[in-house]
Amino acid sequence: MAKIKDALEYHSMGRKGKIEVISTKPCQTAADLSLAYSPGVAEPCLAIEKNPDDAYKYTAKGNLVAVVSNGTAVLGLGNLGALAGKPVMEGKGVLFKRFADIDVFDIELDTENPDEIIKACQLLEPTFGGINLEDIKAPECFYIEEELKKTMKIPVFHDDQHGTAIISSAALINALELVGKKIEDIRIVVNGAGASANSCAKLAIALGVKPNNMIMCDTKGVIYKGRTIGMNPYKELFAADTSFRTLEEAAKGADVLFGLSAKGAFTADMVRSMAPNPIIFAMANPDPEITPDEARAARGDVIIATGRSDYPNQVNNVLGFPFIFRGALDVRASCINEDMKLAAVKALASLAREEVPDSVSKAYGNVKFSFGREYIIPKPFDPRVLLHVAPAIAQAAMDSGVARQPIEDMEKYIEHLESTQGKSKEIMRYIINKAKTDPKRVAFPEGDNEKMLRAAQILVDEGIAKPILIGNSIKIRDKIDELGLNLDDVQIVDTENSKYTEPYAQELYRLRQRKGITESEARRIMRRKSRNHFGAMMVRMGDADAMLSGIDAHYPETIRPALEVVGKQPNLTSVHGMYMMVFKKGVYFMADTTVEIDPTAEELAETAILAAQNVKVFDIDPRVAMLSFSNFGSVRHPLSDKVRRAVQIVKEREPDLIIDGEMQADTAVVQELLDHFSFSKLQQTANVLIFPDLNSGNIAYKLLARLGGAEAIGPILMGMQKPVHVLQRGDDVSDIVNMAAIAVVDAQGRHNS
C-alpha cells in the first residue's frame, strides 16, 4: 500500500507529471522576443526552406525523439489504452534525458489501427530526429516498425523488441564465457512469442546460435513445423523441426532458458533438468518466471538474470535505448540496423568485464561489483555506458553506410559525451589530457590502501602519472594480487628497508633538530611512524615529483608533515586551500576553504593571487571577487576594511588581474546586481571567490556541495614549495585519479618554469 501511495504522490506532487519544456535561449527582453519569434524567426525558416538539413542547425530536431505508443501493451499490465499509458511514456522521456541528454515529446495515439499509427509517425518526420515505439502489442508492432523503417529517413526503434534483446544478448555472451560454452554449441529455449521474444531470438541467431538449436514456446506449447493453432507469420519464422511439444520437454538438457512470458512459467524441476551450468533469463515484468532464490535452490551452478533491480544481473532496457539513440542521432543515421544493434551488444558485454568505479558502487549502497556470475551486465547508473555504447553505435552506423554526418574524430566525440555528464568531466578531461603529455612521479604514502591501488592502475593504464607506492611491500603486493591488478612495473618503496630511509632521516634531523626532533626520532619517523613524512621527503629530495595523501587521515595529519618537510614557498606568508565547485551551468573556484582560519589582509591577497594562478592551469581566465558582507564601502567595519586592503595589495602586485571587492556574494555572481557598480574592474560575474575567513569559506563550499548540487573537486593546496596535494577522507577512486592529474599538472608547471 505504501508503494502505491508513494508512486501516486511522486507523479502528482508539485508540477503534475514528470516532464516540462525549458527554453534553451533567453527570452527576457523585447529584443529576445523579436529573435525567438516574429520577425527574427523568419530567417531560420527561409534557410531551412533552401536547405532542409539546416533544420539540424537551427532547430531541436537533431536531439529530439518521439516516444510513440497506443497503450496496447503497457509494461506487464496489458492493454490500458493510450491515455493510461502516458505516465510510462513520460517516464521514458525522463530516462532519455537523464542518461543521454536527449529531449523527448511523448505522443499517445488513440488508435489500435496499425496503419493509422504508421501514418501518424510518417507525418511527424519533420519534427523529430528519431522515433521510439513503445508498448504496442504484437504482432502489430512488427508490421508498424517494418513499414516505418521502409518509408522513413530517421531512426525508428521499437524498444520493447530490440532493447531487451540487446541487453540480454550482452549478458548471454558474458554468461557463456563464465561457464566455458561456445554460442554455436548451445541449445536455447525461448519461452514467449511476443515482440521482445521475437527480437531476442533473432539477435541470438545473429550472434551465432544455430537456428536448429533454438526452440520457441508460447502459451500453447512448442512452436513446431506444421502447427496451425495460434500461429502467425512471425511465429512461423521460429517453427522448429522437433518432437518436443511442451516447455518442460524443451527445457530438458537445454543450456539456456529465455523467459519473456509470465510469472511462475519456469519450475524448479525444469531448472534441474537443464544441462550443467544452466543460464536462465527470467525477464517477465514485474515478476520473473522463476526467482533467483528458487532457481539456486534447485541447483547451485545456475546463472540467472531477471528484469528486477532487487536481484543481481538486471536486464534493464535503460542500458540500451538512450545510448543507441544518442549515437544514431549524433551521426544522423537514417535507421538503426542490425550492425548497430550488434555493436551495442558487444560494447555492453565488454564494459561488464572492466573494473567498476566507486561511483557505481555508491549508487547501489556501496555494493562491490566485479565480473562474475552475479555481475554479467553493467548497472543502469554506470556513467560509462554512454561512453561505450553511443560511440559503438556511431561507429557501426558509419561502417554500415547509414550515417549522414560521420564523426571525424572519435576520441573528441567521446570527450564531448563525457562533458554532457557534467562540467567537471569536461574540465577534468582537459587536465588529464595535459597530464598525459608528460606524466610525473606521484608518491602515494597510503600505498596499501585499496582505493589508492585501484587509482594507481588507472593512472598507469591511462598514462596520467607514474605512481610510487609507499608502505610494507609484502602487504602492498598481496593487496595487488588480491585485487587482480597489474602493477608489476610500479615502484614500491618499503620504508623499513628502503635505500632512501637513512638519507631521509638525516635530512629530517637537519631540518627539525632545533624544533625538538632527535636523530633517533627522525629515524623512527622515517622508518615506521609517518609515511606522510616519507612521501613529502621523496618530493623534497627529488625522488618524486608530487605527493598525494589523505584518504585515511584527517586533513591536518597530511598537511603538517608536508609543511615540516617541504614547506611553503619562501616568498609567502602561508599556504592556502581551494576547491573547484562544479555546477551544471558553470564552475566556480573558492578559497581559502581549508587552511587559513583568520587571514590577515596580506594573506587574503596571497590567496587571491595563488587562486588566480591555479585557475589558469584549468585553461580558465580568472575573474576574482573578494567577498564580504559589504559592497564597496557600504558598511565600514574592521572585517570589511581588511578585505578592502587585500584588494589594494593584489592590485598593486598584479595590476593586470581582473579583481575587485569588497563585495557581497550575490553581487559577485549575479550580473544584474554587478551592473549597478559600473566603476568595478569586475564587469562580468566572478568565477573565483575569495572568502574573508575559513568559517565562511568552509561552510559555503560544504553547503553548496550538499544542498546546492555542486560537485566539489579538491582541496587544491596552494603555496607549497613543491607539489603536495591532499585528499578528503572517503574520496573514491575517480577523485584520487582527478587529484593525481592535478598534482601532475602542478609538477609540470613548476618543472617548465
Do the annotations mark residue 75 as ligand-binding? yes
CA separation for the pair 578, 16 (Å, rounded) = 41
Beta-strand relationship, 576-583 and 711-718: antiparallel
DSSP one-letter code for 318: G
Q: Closest by alpha carbon to 104, among 171, 144, 159, 153?
A: 159
What is the SS3 assignment for 525? helix
The DSSP output letter for 275 is P
Q: Is 160 annotated as a binding residue?
A: yes
| Strand partners of residue 441 | 466
* 135 annotated binding-site participant: yes
SS3 label, residue 375: strand
Residue 577 labelled as part of a binding site: no
User: 214-218 and 279-282 as β-strands: parallel, antiparallel, unpaired?
Assistant: unpaired
What is the rounded CA–CA span in Å between residue 578 and residue 718?
Answer: 7
Distance CA 325, CA 288 (A): 28
Whether 220 is catalytic is no
| CA nearest neighbour of 154 among 120, 192, 121 | 121
Q: 86, 92, 235, 722: which is the annotated catalytic residue?
A: 92
B/e letters for 512-526, b = 16+ CB within 10 Å, e = fewer, are: beeeebeeebbbebb
Dist CA 211 CA 204 (whole Å): 9
Q: Which three cell numbers stand for residue 256?
A: 539456456
For residue 148, say whether it is annotated as part of any ligand binding site: no
To the question of whether residue 159 is assigned a binding role by annotation, the answer is no
Q: How far is CA 84 from the centre of its chain?
A: 33
| Helical (H) or strand (E) element with 683 | none
The response to whether 76 counts as a known ligand-binding position is yes
Q: Are strands 303-306 and 279-282 parallel, antiparallel or unpaired?
A: parallel
Q: Is 178 annotated as a binding residue?
A: no
| H or E element in which residue 572 lies | none
Is 134 annotated in a binding site? The answer is: yes
80 is in an annotated binding site: yes
- Rounded to 10°, the helix 423-436/410-420 angle is 140
- Cα–Cα nearest to 626, from 172, 525, 654, 617: 654
Are 383 and 422 in contact by the 8 Å Cβ rule? The answer is no
The half-sphere exposure of 362 on its side-chain side, counting CA atoms within 13 A, is 9
* Residue numbers annotated as active site: 92
Residue numbers in the known binding site are 74-81, 134-135, 160, 285
Residue numbers in the known binding site for a divalent metal cation are 134-135, 160, 285
Residue numbers in the known binding site for NADP(+) are 74-81
